[in-house]
Chains A and B, each alone.
Chain A
Amino acid sequence: MSIETMMKEFQAIAYNPNKQLADFKAQGKKVIGVLPYYAPEELVYAAGMVPMGMWGSNNKTISRAKEYCATFYCTIAQLALEMLLDGTMDQLDGVITPTICDTLRPMSQNFRVAIGDKIPTIFLAHPQNRFASWGLQFCIDQYTNVRKMLDQISGHEMTDEDIRNAIKVYNASRAARREFVKLANDHCDVVTPTLRSAVLKASYFMLKDEYTAKLVALNEELKKLPVCDWKGVKVVTSGIIVDNPKLLAIFEENNIAIAADDVAHESRSFRVDAAEDGDPMMALAKQFADVDYEVLLYDPKSSENRRGEFVANMVKESGAQGLILFMQQFCDPEEMEYPYLKKALDAEGIPHIKLGVDQQMRDFGQASTAIQAFADVL
């Protein structure tokens, strides 16, 4: 199969989550919706069910969700609720609702109330003070609740061995995605920003073992290609989610490649692996504790600018000439860390632009002008 065909297959999946959901259900599988961020998807897999990511939608408009939300909430959360209300998600067997930001905290209540008895919601509150034994224990307690609820939905108890196996599957998948991101940089002529995004996005709608097998095959093919001699510019993308094909097309129109990303929906979600031996619940808690350089999570070394410097370093190491930050409207965690990201970038002489986006954007004229102007100065 050609590289192109392989990537198109990922793309077809990434753009048709509904079909995936229907197919899984037709196969008699149970499917659990997983809202952002950092839910232990491994547990869903270990329970023999299919986790599907719910990161809003680029094709929907907020309408019913208005009955629950004031306007000043991000579209990701609002559109997730919209899809729970408009029937898109009716086939789900459960939804995991993490609560790590100030939007998701009250939204967890809206999700639970709005879908009522239709779909069970599985509440999850991660610890921010997550490093010491008691932080890990709290995380384990929370994950144990999730585990029990999943057992109820699946109708059988997952074993520790099931979880260990799931961790292996997920570690392999994360490793494959990390490798793909590197290869996408080396072969950015073939792996366009649109295709790069689609390949990564598909992971949210597939069982991870199947996904990984496909991705490893793609990676092998990519490795055979000569490293491309890119004549355009390269950037690092940053933000919560950068998956809108229209937006990504602007990159291609301006010969901009994505060298690496600091995107929550992409690399931030697969940077950290879990231990494959020992107590698997502890392994998952430790994995969460190890998540670092994250706008959503507490950094005990807060008097340093670790996250800003980490991202600046990523730009340098990936060979990018600048950074494009896609700021989701109303996302205060991202907004809060912007001044120090800017500081770190400025200190390294790395140019950047910040573009406001949301998932209801349909007209990218302004973004196009800004990106084009940015590419010209790089």
Chain B
Amino acid sequence: MAKEVSPGVLALRKVVDDVHADARKAKAEGKLVGWSSSKFPCELAAAFDLDVMYPENQAAGIAANRDGEIMCQAAEDLGFDNDICGYARISLAYAAGKRAARKFDPETLEYIIDPNSGKPLKDENGKVIIGEDGKPVKDPKTQQPYTVLVDIHEIEALPDGALKDKYWESIKPYRQMRIPQPDFVLCCNNICNCMTKWYENIARMCNIPLIMIDIPYNNTVEVHDSNVAYVRAQFDAAIKQLEELTGKKFDEKKFEQACANANRTASAWLRVCDYLQYKPAPYSGFDLFNHMADIVTARAKVQAAEAFELLEKDLEIAIKEGTTTTPFPEKYRVMFEGIPCWPKLPDLFKPLKANGVNVTAVVYAPAFGFVYEDLDGMARAYYKAPNSVCIEQGVDWREGICRDNKVDGVLVHYNRSCKPWSGYMAEMQRRFTADLGIPCAGFDGDQADPRNFNAAQYETRVQGLVEAMEQNAMNKEG
């Protein structure tokens, strides 16, 4: 499935790589590096030039790199129940110093290859080579060492030397397994209250300050002035805390620039999302999940805005030329509800591809595309996070994109990790069907812990949805 990668996508990847590289550099230079929840107002940290990493985004990356299970297990061994959100578990294990690493022989310092890893070796005709044992031969170039868990505090305690160096090197090299430990944490619980105690735990483990912006749940579509005043006051308090932390004064200019960038990024993001309205769509909504990293980690940076604008141009060309990056003809269009199962992306994709189902709407589009004009507007914007809004707002967002993006059905992820997200999903499904006349199908999964996903159940549910969409289409024609 080798896709040609567009300049916009490349630019977006670079933005995220740079954010991580900058943070590693800052840490090496002895500067402060923070960890922040994805919907903490990053504009505030940007006004102080702080380097910030995002545990949710990191956890998604770790899960997508198939280390979700070992990290979740590490958190469970620390006493965190396996009921807790997988992102939180991965992040807490990481904060405690646990890392997924490549196994090596402490005598020879050579990595120990897992014979089960790797892709099958193919001959010149592209045929899989079968070994003497009747099993496909593995391509040695694609084989990986066993994954083991290491602890940075234990490594630190080792005497200096080759063994210690090897341990450091053995930590998996992808960026999410290499983010610096935090010097402070920024918590905003608009998306969930799990955040509150998760970040308190990090503060405790690392003995670092926590800056808290509390955004309570909202029962109305409108955000009342009382709620805005509460959040505004917290912005001011957070600024004071950041001044104390950094020893710098709040830089109004930088703040305004960050806000302008964030608005520009959000607008460009929304326009990119809107390209999914075209039929057929020029790309798969699954790609939006990949670009989430930019929206989360870099939305206040001008580079992110520029990269999304570049992607917009790519999409414009794709529409003109009638091309799409979706690797199959689009037969049905669905909204994917919830966070994907990161460790199981190929499994998620397979039956969709087989049935010509393209994801042309994801809830992240409206949920992260907030644009505001002033500080009150910013408070209001942060009040409207995916899981802080009432059912009417939640339904309205989704039905809006379902209509605009012309979906034929909804695939609902009952995400074992995310109680706030899955909490009123059943009622939402009923409303989608009643209001839009489209079928919905739910499946059980987890965004980070692969143990909670059942591929067979998923395939059956997708099949059921496809049949219902087919029937719906026939009824319409008939």
Contacts of B469 in A (CB 8 A): none
Selected from B78, B214, B391, B414, the residue in CB contact (under 8 A) with A113 is B391
- CB of B428 to closest CB in A, whole Å: 9
Selected from B192, B199, B216, B237, the residue in CB contact (under 8 A) with A125 is B216
Q: A332-B84, A336-B194 are in contact. Are A127 and B214 (CB under 8 A)?
A: yes
Are B204 and A336 neighbours in the complex by a CB distance under 8 Å? no
In the complex, whether B426 has a CB less than 8 A from a CB of chain A is: yes
Q: What total count of A-B pairs have CB within 8 Å?
A: 158
Are A110 and B424 neighbours in the complex by a CB distance under 8 Å? yes
Are B208 and A72 neighbours in the complex by a CB distance under 8 Å? no
Chain B residues 179 to 213 lying within 8 A of chain A, measured CB to CB, are: 189, 192-194, 196-201, 203-204, 206-210, 212-213
Q: A113-B427, A295-B197 are in contact. Are A127 and B230 (CB under 8 A)?
A: yes
Are B213 and A103 neighbours in the complex by a CB distance under 8 Å? no
Contacts of B222 in A (CB 8 A): none
Selected from B197, B209, B217, B425, the residue in CB contact (under 8 A) with A105 is B217
Report Cα–Cα, A54/B83, bound state, in Å: 24
In this complex, what residue of B is CB-closest to A303? B203
Chain A residues 90 to 141 lying within 8 A of chain B, measured CB to CB, are: 99-103, 105-110, 112-113, 123, 125-129, 132, 134-135, 137-138, 141
In the complex, whether B24 has a CB less than 8 A from a CB of chain A is: no
In the complex, whether B471 has a CB less than 8 A from a CB of chain A is: no
Contacts of B10 in A (CB 8 A): none
Selected from B201, B214, B414, the residue in CB contact (under 8 A) with A129 is B214
In this complex, what residue of A is CB-closest to B207? A303
Are A105 and B204 neighbours in the complex by a CB distance under 8 Å? no
Contacts of B194 in A (CB 8 A): 102, 332-333, 336
- CB of B344 to closest CB in A, whole Å: 18
Contacts of A129 in B (CB 8 A): 212-214, 230, 234, 237
Q: A303-B203, A327-B81 are in contact. Are A99 and B217 (CB under 8 A)?
A: yes
Are B199 and A107 neighbours in the complex by a CB distance under 8 Å? no
In this complex, what residue of A is CB-closest to B206? A303
Selected from A106, A134, A335, the residue in CB contact (under 8 A) with B80 is A335
Contacts of A99 in B (CB 8 A): 216-217
Report Cα–Cα, A100/B81, bound state, in Å: 20
Are A70 and B204 neighbours in the complex by a CB distance under 8 Å? no
Contacts of B193 in A (CB 8 A): 100-102, 105, 128, 333
Are A123 and B424 neighbours in the complex by a CB distance under 8 Å? no
Report Cα–Cα, A103/B192, bound state, in Å: 10
Chain B residues 389 to 419 lying within 8 A of chain A, measured CB to CB, are: 390-391, 414, 416, 419
Report Cα–Cα, A109/B424, bound state, in Å: 7
- CB of A65 to closest CB in B, whole Å: 10
Are B200 and A68 neighbours in the complex by a CB distance under 8 Å? no
Are B219 and A108 neighbours in the complex by a CB distance under 8 Å? yes
Contacts of B218 in A (CB 8 A): 125
Are A329 and B83 neighbours in the complex by a CB distance under 8 Å? yes
Are A342 and B217 neighbours in the complex by a CB distance under 8 Å? no
Report Cα–Cα, A68/B427, bound state, in Å: 6
- CB of A108 to closest CB in B, whole Å: 7
In the complex, whether A364 has a CB less than 8 A from a CB of chain B is: no
Q: A70-B414, A302-B204 are in contact. Are A105 and B214 (CB under 8 A)?
A: no
- CB of A296 to closest CB in B, whole Å: 8
In the complex, whether A298 has a CB less than 8 A from a CB of chain B is: yes
Selected from B85, B200, B414, B426, the residue in CB contact (under 8 A) with A302 is B200
- CB of B388 to closest CB in A, whole Å: 8
Contacts of A123 in B (CB 8 A): 219
Q: A102-B193, A110-B424 are in contact. Are A138 and B201 (CB under 8 A)?
A: no
Report Cα–Cα, A105/B229, bound state, in Å: 21
Report Cα–Cα, A298/B212, bound state, in Å: 9
- CB of B185 to closest CB in A, whole Å: 9
Contacts of A337 in B (CB 8 A): 197
In the complex, whether A330 has a CB less than 8 A from a CB of chain B is: yes
Q: A125-B216, A138-B229, A303-B207 are in contact. Are A332 and B423 (CB under 8 A)?
A: no
Chain A residues 48 to 79 lying within 8 A of chain B, measured CB to CB, are: 67-70, 72-73
Are A106 and B79 neighbours in the complex by a CB distance under 8 Å? no
Contacts of B419 in A (CB 8 A): 72-73, 102-103, 106, 330, 332
Chain B residues 220 to 278 lying within 8 A of chain A, measured CB to CB, are: 226-227, 229-230, 233-234, 237
Report Cα–Cα, A141/B230, bound state, in Å: 10
- CB of B462 to closest CB in A, whole Å: 19
In the complex, whether A232 has a CB less than 8 A from a CB of chain B is: no
Report Cα–Cα, A137/B227, bound state, in Å: 10
Contacts of B197 in A (CB 8 A): 295, 333, 336-337
- CB of B339 to closest CB in A, whole Å: 15
Contacts of A128 in B (CB 8 A): 189, 193, 196, 212, 214, 216
Report Cα–Cα, A134/B216, bound state, in Å: 14
In this complex, what residue of A is CB-closest to B416? A72
Report Cα–Cα, A333/B81, bound state, in Å: 11
In the complex, whether B325 has a CB less than 8 A from a CB of chain A is: no
In the complex, whether A162 has a CB less than 8 A from a CB of chain B is: no
Contacts of A327 in B (CB 8 A): 81
In the complex, whether A300 has a CB less than 8 A from a CB of chain B is: yes
Report Cα–Cα, A102/B419, bound state, in Å: 6
In the complex, whether A310 has a CB less than 8 A from a CB of chain B is: no
In this complex, what residue of A is CB-closest to B204? A303
Are B203 and A335 neighbours in the complex by a CB distance under 8 Å? no
In the complex, whether A299 has a CB less than 8 A from a CB of chain B is: yes
Are B204 and A340 neighbours in the complex by a CB distance under 8 Å? yes
Given A106-B387, A298-B196, 18 additional A-B pairs, CB 8 A = A68-B426, A70-B426, A106-B419, A106-B420, A110-B427, A125-B216, A129-B230, A138-B216, A299-B200, A303-B204, A303-B209, A330-B83, A336-B80, A336-B197, A336-B201, A338-B80, A339-B201, A340-B204
List the 5 closest pairs (A to B, CB-CB), nearest first.
Answer: A106-B423, A339-B79, A134-B233, A125-B216, A302-B200
Listed in ascending order, the chain A residues whose CB lies under 8 Å from chain B are: 67-70, 72-73, 99-103, 105-110, 112-113, 123, 125-129, 132, 134-135, 137-138, 141-142, 295, 298-300, 302-305, 327, 329-333, 335-340, 342
Between-chain CB contacts (< 8 Å), 28 pairs: A70-B414, A70-B425, A72-B83, A72-B422, A73-B419, A103-B423, A105-B192, A106-B419, A109-B424, A110-B423, A112-B219, A127-B230, A128-B216, A132-B233, A134-B234, A135-B230, A135-B233, A137-B226, A141-B226, A302-B204, A303-B204, A303-B207, A304-B204, A331-B83, A332-B85, A332-B194, A335-B81, A340-B204
